[in-house]
Amino acid sequence: REFHMRGQDHHAKVLIDLEDAYQGATRNITLQVPEVDPSGHVITRQRTLKVRIPKGVKQGQQIRLAGQGAPGVGQGGSGDLYLEIEFKPHPFYRVEGRDVYLELPVAPWEAALGGKVKVSTPSGVLDLTIPPNSTTSGRKMRLKGKGIPGKKAGDFYVQLKIVLPPADSEKAKAFYEKMKQELPFNPRAALGV
């Protein structure tokens, strides 16, 4: 009697750019695959596959590539290859589920007076309206549905970070001195000091 057995499934992690989750992409990935040579020794062979990354894929999700796992025995079919998605670290964005976070530097006058500022997102540049008196660094603003796409798209959160211009010239120092004199402001007043 002949012996038939389906091949084992293989699992691998694949690092992708966050932008690939927004637009979808096709990537070549190279795997190190264990294989038994004719003399019975286990060797490692490189194998390159063209993989379609679907739009809306999220961290930890698995992509199944049917028949790309270990070969079967006899007439048993090959196993499957499961690729677990992981995002490459991004210098600007942080991801939680389908939500994306950005710490956005704003000037003190933008925070105090409000106005429109440009915000870079993985899907392009958007205009964000900052309301007047947004003078708390760390304030969060939500752009609904601008996170990772999906049946229920994630949100894009902007966390304001007030950045002061440097006092690196006589003119700048004089301006700060004038503000100190004309704006009676104690940022530690709530602490009782």
Q: Is residue 21 part of a domain?
A: yes
Determine what percent of the chain is predicted with pLDDT higher than 90. Answer: 66
pLDDT number for residue 7 = 87
Please provide residue 74's backbone torsions phi and psi, each rounded to the nearest 5 degrees.
Answer: 65, -125
pLDDT in tens, 5-26: 898 898 999 999 999 999 999 9
Q: Rounded distance, CA 16 to CA 151, Å? A: 21
| More confidently predicted of 36 and 86 | 86
pLDDT number for residue 20 = 94
Say yes or no: 40 and 64 in one domain. Answer: yes
Q: Is the dihedral of CA 45, 65, 60, 28 positive or negative?
A: positive
Q: What count of other Cβ atoms lies within 10 Å of the Cβ of residue 141?
A: 16
Q: Is the dihedral of CA 74, 76, 77, 78 positive or negative?
A: negative
pLDDT number for residue 119 = 95
Say yes or no: 120 and 159 in one domain. Answer: yes
Please provide residue 110's backbone torsions phi and psi, each rounded to the nearest 5 degrees.
Answer: -65, -40
Say yes or no: 28 and 61 in one domain. Answer: yes
pLDDT in tens, 55-104: 999 999 999 999 988 888 888 888 999 999 999 999 999 999 999 999 99
pLDDT in tens, 44-68: 889 899 999 999 999 999 999 999 8
Say yes or no: 131 and 80 in one domain. Answer: no
Examine the fold and report which residue of 87, 119, 152 is the final residue of a domain before the chain moves on: 87
Total number of domains constituting the chain? 2
Say yes or no: 97 and 131 in one domain. Answer: yes
Q: Is residue 62 part of a domain?
A: yes
Q: Is residue 4 part of a domain?
A: no
Q: Is residue 191 part of a domain?
A: no
Cβ-contact 48, 62 below 8 angstroms: no
Examine the fold and report which residue of 41, 62, 87 is the final residue of a domain before the chain moves on: 87
Q: Which residues does 16 contact at the CB level (< 8 Å), separation at least 6?
A: 25, 27, 53, 57, 85, 86, 87, 88
pLDDT number for residue 127 = 94
Examine the fold and report which residue of 52, 87, 122 is the final residue of a domain before the chain moves on: 87
Q: Is residue 59 part of a domain?
A: yes
Alpha-helical segments (H) within 11-152: 18-23, 108-113
Mean pLDDT for 115-132 is 93
CATH code, 166: 2.60.260.20
pLDDT in tens, 178-188: 999 998 888 88
Q: Is residue 61 part of a domain?
A: yes
Binned at pLDDT 50, 70 and 90, residue 137 comes out as confident
Write down the mean pLDDT value for the chain: 91
pTM for this model (two decimals): 0.81
Its domain, for residue 47, covers 10-87
pLDDT at 134 over 90: no
